[in-house]
Chains A and B, each alone.
Chain A
Amino acid sequence: MEIISVRHLAVGYGNVKILEGLDFGVPAGRITAVVGASGCGKSTLLKTLAGLLPPLAGEIVFGTDRVDYASEASLGALYDRIGVLYQDGALLNNLTLFENIALPIRMKLPEMPGEVLRELVHDRLSQVDLLGSAGKYPSELSGGMRKRGALARALVQDPEVVLCDEPSGGLDPITSGHLDGLLLDLKKAFGTTFVVVTHELRSIRRIADEVLVLRDGRLHFSGDLGEIMASGDEFLRAFFLRMADHDDA
């Protein structure tokens, strides 16, 4: 079953189209990786899925609800169902890690009892293995810790879909592997759907159930990694071979 359906989507800035004619679905409870060369529009697609950039044409249907980018109510409903892990974490620098993770609940549900909120944040911190860092500020955390903290914040509202912008970007292979393992555990335990923009074949191999390949602003291929490797498509073979070389380097 698809949790997100994208139909005839065109996205861009002003009159410049970056993505065009996109049609695909994101299966529920699975991890979909979005790959493509730099500048092909992966992060732009993620922004549109996150409700931050209205499409120039086409539509996105979340479950059974069409996302109306002009309606605050529709966007509010979307934000209730998604979590976003930003490339650099985007934790608020003037709040501790604990407060960052508690923030979405504090803002949306101020009447939530403090004791329950503490338990909730504690659980999330425990899931990302950051219990000892709850009182630290983002500037006191390493890159990997910031990303795990940001993942905990993305998960705190129990979203149906988590959108991740290059979760392994800038991380060493061990930390990156740990983060991938975390996504797999969360998918297994809670049935969370992930859409992951990534450059790393190693990460795609580990986590992706589905792969969307973007090329020149269009969807070039969608399928699983096995189908990509088995396909005779020259671009895919060249692209994934280069990625493999890059990962091995």
Chain B
Amino acid sequence: MDETKPSVVVLPHRLRTRDIPAAFAEIQGQLKRGAVTVDFGGVGEFDASTLALLSYLRRCAPGIAVRNVGEGLESAFRAFLGGTPPAACEVPVPGFPTRVLHSLSDKFMAHTRSVAKFFVMLSDAIFHTASYLKDRRGVYPGETWNQLFFMGYKSFPITSLLIFLVGVTIALTSAAQLKLYGADIYLADLIGFGMLRELVPLMTGIILAGKVGAAVAAELSTMMVLEEVDALKTMGVVPERFLMVPRLLAITLAVPLLVAIADAIGIGAGVVVGRMSLGILPSSFIREMRTAVGPGDFLIGLGKTLVFGWAVIVASGYKGLTVGRSPGEVGRATTESVVLSVSLIIFIDCIFALIIY
């Protein structure tokens, strides 16, 4: 082959989207050996991808010449791409260190903004709850009771069931170990202490995150997407007060009931296992338990669960009210609210452990 004469690639009659990769590969292959002329003379069937290929070859491909572009293809090219600003021939890609630094700084700034927004939401929630308790304005009448019904009554069955199952599991596991040392009776101490101080608060918090937190985030984010929150603002209603205060008050009222019931059920599970597995009489179980735990333990558990409940409401309110405007964001906000709530619960629990013990 003559090295100085460009090789010619004759394109096929049918050159649509599916045919472009093969044609482009052939052009690139020939280009490695020297200059190329691409002959469009035979092209009869074409589409937008053909026009894009022609545009690219004409503007951005050194060493490639184009010839015999038919009138039909040319007029389509003028009609569709004539008035369009040409695409950049090469998209500048920053170097790897720059990309990594940009990505890290963007993420850092996004997280910083998120944390700041969360604390703004938290302080808003505290301020609006306090001012509502003072002036009793800005919350829809009866809304706190509606929320209490949902958070308390509707959460009670699942909380009770799960606490009972956890109580049985913990009691069975502990009973097997205690039996080895003849320390059967101390099952009562272990269950009483564990339930009141740790398991009930943690399990109740996590159940509230999954059930109540997800529902709150989904409801508020849907209201954002449907412009209901904007509507509240332009009616002169403060959305943070109207939406968050009833939920915070409801969780404050619901938690003591849930904790009291969950404590009783968890201890009941221990009593059942103690009787069936170790032969401990319920009266002995309770008597022994009372030597290890007292009202202070119940109050510590209650206090922890209240803080977990507030964390769930603030986290889900934050996720719900900072959502974008597309419906797809509702699902994302709901998922993120559960993750954030559970993370906060475990983080706060750890802080409690450091303080208390």
Contacts and interface: CB of A to CB of B under 8 A. Distances in A.
A108 B235 CA distance: 9
B242 A52 contact: no
Interface residues of B, number: 18
A101 B5 CA distance: 82
Nearest to A47: B230
Given A76-B236, A107-B235, A108-B236, A90 B230 contact: yes
Contacts of B138: 107
A175 interface: no
A86 B231 contact: yes
Nearest to B222: A93
A90 B223 CA distance: 8
A132 interface: no
B352 interface: no
B234 interface: yes
Interface in B205-241: 223, 226-228, 230-237
A47 to B, nearest CB: 8
Contacts, number: 64
A47 B235 CA distance: 14
B13 interface: no
B235 A50 contact: no
Interface string A75-103: 01001101110111011110100000001
Interface in B237-275: 237, 242
A80 B228 CA distance: 18
Interface in B85-136: 136
Most buried by B among A86, A150, A157: A86
Interface string A99-122: 000011011101000000000000
A80 B236 contact: yes
Interface string B130-160: 0000001110110000000000000000000
Nearest to A111: B137
B233 A103 contact: no
A82 B233 CA distance: 11
B230 A107 contact: no
**A: interface residue count bin:** 20 to 34
Contacts of A108: 236-237
B144 to A, nearest CB: 14
Most buried by B among A82, A88, A107: A107
Contact of A90 (B136, B140, B228): B228
Contacts of A88: 226-227
A93 B222 CA distance: 10
Contacts of B231: 84, 86, 90-92, 150, 153
Contact of A51 (B136, B227, B234, B242): B234
Nearest to B230: A52
A79 B234 contact: yes
Contacts of B237: 103-104, 107-108
Nearest to B234: A84
B316 to A, nearest CB: 17
B141 A103 contact: no
Contact of A52 (B141, B228, B234, B236): B234
Nearest to B229: A90
A87 B140 contact: no
A52 B233 contact: yes
Contacts of B236: 76, 79-80, 104, 107-108, 157
A157 B236 CA distance: 10
Contacts of B140: 95, 103, 106-107
Contact of B235 (A52, A87, A104, A110): A104
13 contacts: A50-B234, A51-B233, A52-B233, A86-B227, A90-B226, A91-B231, A92-B228, A104-B237, A107-B137, A107-B140, A107-B236, A110-B137, A110-B141
Interface of A: 47, 50-52, 76, 79-80, 82-84, 86-88, 90-93, 95, 103-104, 106-108, 110, 150, 153, 157
Per CB-CB distance, the 8 closest pairs between chain A and chain B, nearest first, are: A90-B231, A79-B236, A104-B235, A90-B227, A84-B234, A86-B227, A107-B237, A90-B228
